[in-house]
Amino acid sequence: MTAIPLGVPRRLVEFTLDGQEARVPEGATILDACRAAGKDIPTLCQGDTLTPKNACRVCVVEVEGARTLAPACSRKAEAGMEVRTDTERARHSRKVVLELLASSVNLSTTPRAAEWIKEYEAKPDRFGPDAARVDEEPRVDNDLYVRDYDKCILCYKCVDACGDQWQNTFAISVVGRGFDARIAVEHDAPLTDSACVYCGNCVEVCPTGALSFKSEFDMRAAGTWNEAEQTETTTVCAYCGVGCNLTLHVQDNEIVKVTSPHDNPVTHGNLCIKGRFGYQHVQNRD
Amino acid sequence: MDLHFGDSKPTDEEREAVDALLGPPGSAWETAFGDAAVRSDADLRWARGGRAARERRDLLLPGLHAVNDRVGWISEGALDYLCRRLTVPPAEAYGVATFYSMFSVKPRPATVLHVCTDVACAAKGSAELCAGVEGRLGPGSGVSVERSPCLGLCERAPAALVVRAGAASGPDAAAGGGSGAAVGGGSGAAVGAGHGSVAEKPYATAVIAPATPEAAVLAASAPEAAEPEPAASLAVPQAGQPGLTLLRRIGVVDPASLDDYRSHGGYTALRRAFELGPAGVIREVTDAGLVGRGGAAFPTGVKWKATASQPDHPHHLVCNADESEPGTFKDRVLMEGDPYSLIEAMTIAGYAVGAHKGYLYLRGEYPRALQLLGNAIEQARARGLLGDDVLGQGYAFDIEIRRGAGAYICGEETALFNSIEGYRGEPRSKPPFPVEKGLFGKPTAENNVETLVNVLPILTMGAEAYAAIGTEKSTGPKLFCVSGSVERPGIYELPFGATLGELLGLAGKPENLRAVLLGGAAGGFVRADEMDIPLTFEGTRAAGTTLGSGVVLAIDDTVPLPRILLRIAEFFRDESCGQCVPCRVGTVRQEEALHRIAERTGAAAAGDIALLREVGRAMRDASICGLGQTAWNAVESAIDRLGAYE
Ligand code: SF4
Ligand code: SF4
Ligand code: SF4
Ligand code: FES
Ligand code: FES
């Protein structure tokens, strides 16, 4: 018995990927094909359960005959397409995009960023010491999670997760324009005055650590955060009958944060405030 | 959707502004929320809004305009009230309100003086104008001075635009007609109801160009009493000359009179269209070889055919009148000088692609065009040239004007759809293309003003005669916006294939010409010795440049080139929507590098020029839309063709 319904079989699209024949189901993206073929393309705004906004442009590839590069995460594979993932042109754009990002925001908590910067020989410092940065102070206005937009790459994932793709609360949006664009709630108020319901689904999808659990934020500030020492245990939330899957991240015998598996066919990584943040009673030892 | 609202309340004025657009609220829940005294029993059982209101999300931008027009800025209470009425989440509406430069979410004076500081105006002393205006106004003047990108008045540079929120004083204020003091047309209430009627506006505007500090300050203190703008035909040095096609009625007809338009050949093209049938019209347009005049040069017939053949319905027609390319003002002159021609052309286009609704997206900085088009639509409707049964042919078509609010990016076709739909004006990624999924997710043909107006001569003279004008690959007449250091700036009509030298000859080329910016900020520079370049799509391409939107901005050797390049870079940095990294950050890095080398040349500039090239290449390759992809063109051409920093 399979847990996931298979649906109607889809037609296969045949195209060329780096000179090799590739076959993917209709509707699959170039990125899907790359991953199936074991190619590692950097991605930031792409998320496994959200429709990517293709805004970060680190996944660009060359499509034969196209004037510009294409975002692998969003461009669907088409029959007969000739795609090259590792050309000088594609690598150049990825390098510059990484430089532009790293020179304007803090990527220190973005998984794999350092590795890609090295691989593409990006030199974010070459824009000089006066290069404009986002330069924002972390916003700590509630006890559950912290918004540190100095780390935000404007990937739109949190907006989509809070909006019509996951949570349907629509508490946050991109505001302003150009380099001044930011994620904010209405009237740029504190989170506590907004429509936020503290489900933490935005934190779940944030690829940079711009949104983080207050627990994690505080431990990082204190220098006690140690991912290597953490264990992860997936269990079932006991609060209500929905029965969402929770992944407890435990360090030194304390729960330090709660995430949720995205491949769960019912919840896809979504939780509510209780499952996400209501874990203190578990470790209440008095 | 479970919306959350804060407790800020609208003022009576703000509420009235919104209600004038949307009609009175159906329930006290929507009005005096929190005020139990006016809630009725029925209200307590009333869950209003829901889908009906949500489907009018596209009224968000008109709603923001309504408040901004009346009050001058958009307060928390006003925004929340508008959101409540439309069932739009306040965070999203805040994101939309902060996207447009003509709106403010912070208190500001009711009078805003927009002073153009863009390329053509910069060359004609906009810096002195700004300084003079600010010196005279001083603090507490009740006027907010804002530096503006191109106002589309480049032939009369330097230019300024006054917008005063709030009811215009005096009974004459609404009767400005085509004059500069006109109270803009196309009332908000009418937009909501789907009519573009010319009701009295709650705001006043005045256009001052060419502007002196004295005239600008005077107009800001009393926009209703400002000198009337010169007639649009004064922007057409060829006006009245024989042999013109697109400009032939400008300066000849009264732009306010439908009868006059008809007596000058108006509506013969539409009659011919009905004789040919939709497929016949598309065939004519295809055979005529018409390609889009907005810069992309895509074949119009192909676009129309693709839209017309989509099984999904309804089909939409969108006229892109968001002319914001610095140096471009031809659409404004067409709309102000011959507004009915656009209405007729849109009707034909709608008929061809099977649309019953046409959206005319007009840039927010064009008050006179708004007033004249609003009048033209109303007259056409009254005479059965728009409406349920156009010309008694059983074809229903109507046009709605949507006002932009200061965002160059909304000229990008998909950003324009988002803007109309009430979202941030961010471009969508393509595919899917608009002909398949455009406005409201439906098949849409989008054309700019000049392209549409070309359809009239195609139908009246026939495809063959039209195609005989110009060259084999670039057919028909072309409009050029000539500004900068020439004797007679303005709009010129020439058949495709005339050379740059011929055009500048007409406009009065200066002795000391240094360079020409072709195609606007997104185009490129050519040298003064390249006057043989043929003005065709293929000819400019062969010369390694572009025709773009038809901008020809002449720069003489008194104008400091690095300053112009900086202004171009600043323009793109300001106008980037911010969605994608190469453009959002790349435009900033480009401007920074240009600042560093503004005073440097040779080896001292080499490092930064190499950096500019690398960033520019990634912007061109990896940006989502044309803005980021072209933001480096002009600077690159100045370095390569003009030797800007040698
Ligand atoms: S806060 Fe995180 S998820 Fe949201 S846009 Fe920024 S980087 Fe993306
Ligand atoms: S996370 Fe929330 S919805 Fe899911 S089981 Fe726990 S309490 Fe229920
Ligand atoms: S290229 Fe610029 S304007 Fe276009 S989508 Fe990207 S950020 Fe927006
Ligand atoms: S991951 Fe593809 S554009 Fe961001
Ligand atoms: S109006 Fe100032 S540059 Fe066009």
Determine the distance separating the centroid of ligand 4 and the alpha carbon of B99, expressed in angstroms.
23
Complex-level ipTM: 0.95
Cβ–Cβ of A184/B575 closer than 8 Å? no
Contact residues, chain B, for A176 at CB < 8 Å = 98-99, 578
Among B421, B581, B613, pick the best mutation site for testing chain A contact (most A Cβ within 10 A).
B581
Specify the pLDDT at position B175: 37
Q: A105-120: per-residue pLDDT in tens? A: 999 999 999 999 999 9
Specify the pLDDT at position A2: 46
Q: What percent of chain B shows pLDDT beyond 90?
A: 84
Ligand 2 atom at minimum distance from A239 CA: 7
Question: Best mutation site among B153, B559, B575 for ligand 5, i.e. most ligand atoms within 8 A of its Cβ?
Answer: B153
Enumerate residues 6+ apart whose C-beta is below 8 A from A152. A105, A134, A182, A183, A208, A210
Query: A130: which 2 tokens?
Result: 């006066």
Specify the pLDDT at position B52: 64
Determine the distance separating the centroid of ligand 4 and the alpha carbon of A44, expressed in angstroms.
6
Specify the pLDDT at position B185: 35
Q: What percent of chain B shows pLDDT beyond 70?
A: 90
Specify the pLDDT at position B46: 52
- Name the 3-class secondary structure at B515: strand
Among A45, A155, A169, A173, pick the best mutation site for testing chain B contact (most B Cβ within 10 A).
A173
Q: Which of residues 168-187 of A touch B (CB under 8 A)?
A: 168-181, 184-187
Q: A164-223: per-residue pLDDT in tens? A: 999 999 999 999 999 999 999 999 999 999 999 999 999 999 999 999 999 999 999 999
DSSP codes of every residue in B222-276? -GGGSPPPPPGGGG-TTTT-TT-STTTTTTTS-TT-HHHHHHTTTTHHHHHHHHH
Specify the pLDDT at position B162: 97
Q: Is the pLDDT of residue B564 over 90?
A: yes
Specify the pLDDT at position B178: 35
Q: Is the pLDDT of residue B74 over 90?
A: yes
Query: Could you tell me the pTM of the whole model?
Result: 0.94
Q: Is the pLDDT of residue B173 over 70?
A: no
Ligand 2 first shell, C-beta below 6 A: A 237, 239-240, 242-244, 271-272, 274-275
B121 lines ligand 5 (CB under 6 A): yes
Q: B573-593: per-residue pLDDT in tens? A: 999 999 999 999 999 999 999
Compute the nearest-CA separation of A7 from chain B (Å).
24
Specify the pLDDT at position B599: 80
Q: Is the pLDDT of residue B519 over 80?
A: yes
Specify the pLDDT at position A133: 97
Q: A26-66: per-residue pLDDT in tens? A: 999 999 999 999 999 999 999 988 999 999 999 999 999 99
Q: B341-350: per-residue pLDDT in tens? A: 999 999 999 9
Rounded to whole angstroms, the Cα distance separating A71 from A54 reads 6
Mean pLDDT confidence for A122-139: 96
pLDDT band at A282 (very low <50, low <70, confident <90, very high): confident
Ligand 3 atom at minimum distance from B427 CA: 5
B118 lines ligand 5 (CB under 6 A): yes
Query: B407: which 2 tokens?
Result: 């965002």
Of A57, A92, A127, the CB nearest to B589: A127
Specify the pLDDT at position B191: 35
Determine the distance separating the centroid of ligand 3 and the alpha carbon of B629, expressed in angstroms.
8
Specify the pLDDT at position B28: 63
Specify the pLDDT at position A199: 96
Rounded to whole angstroms, the Cα distance separating B115 from B131 reads 11
Q: Is the pLDDT of residue B332 over 60?
A: yes
Enumerate residues 6+ apart whose C-beta is below 8 A from A93. A57, A60, A69, B582, B617, B618, B621, B622
Q: Which of B178-182, B381-385, B445-449 is least confident?
A: B178-182
pLDDT band at B201 (very low <50, low <70, confident <90, very high): confident
Q: Which residue would you say has higher pLDDT here, A38 or B198?
A: A38
Whether chain A has a CB inside 8 Å of the CB on B444: the answer is no
Pair B194, B400: CB distance under 8 Å: yes
Mean pLDDT confidence for B424-430: 96
Ligand 2 atom at minimum distance from A267 CA: 4
Cβ–Cβ of A68/B620 closer than 8 Å? yes
pLDDT band at B139 (very low <50, low <70, confident <90, very high): confident
Rounded to whole angstroms, the Cα distance separating B307 from B361 reads 19
Specify the pLDDT at position B381: 98
Specify the pLDDT at position A262: 94
Compute the nearest-CA separation of A199 from chain B (Å).
14
Q: What percent of chain A shows pLDDT beyond 70?
A: 97
pLDDT band at A6 (very low <50, low <70, confident <90, very high): low
Determine the distance separating the centroid of ligand 5 and the alpha carbon of B365, expressed in angstroms.
11
Q: B495 - beta bridge partners?
A: B477
Specify the pLDDT at position A4: 61
Phi, psi of A247 (to 5 degrees): -110, 115
Of B4, B80, B592, the CB nearest to A132: B592
**Mean pLDDT for chain B overall:** 91
Q: Is the pLDDT of residue B45 over 60?
A: no
Cβ–Cβ of A178/B98 closer than 8 Å? no
SS (H, E, C) chain A: CCCCCCCCCCCEEEEEECCEEEEEECCCEHHHHHHHCCCCCCCCCCECCECCCCCCCCCEEEECCCCCCEECCCCECCCCCEEECCCHHHHHHHHHHHHHHHHHCCCCCCCCHHHHHHHCCCCHHHHCCCCCCCCCCCECCCCCEEECHHHCCCCCHHHHHHCCCCCCCCCCEEECCHHHCEEECHHHCCHHHCCCCCCCHHHHHCCCCCEEEHHHHHHHHHCCCCHHHCEEEEEECCCCCCCCEEEEEEECCEEEEEECCCCCCCCCCCCCHHHHHCCHHHHCCC
pLDDT band at B42 (very low <50, low <70, confident <90, very high): low
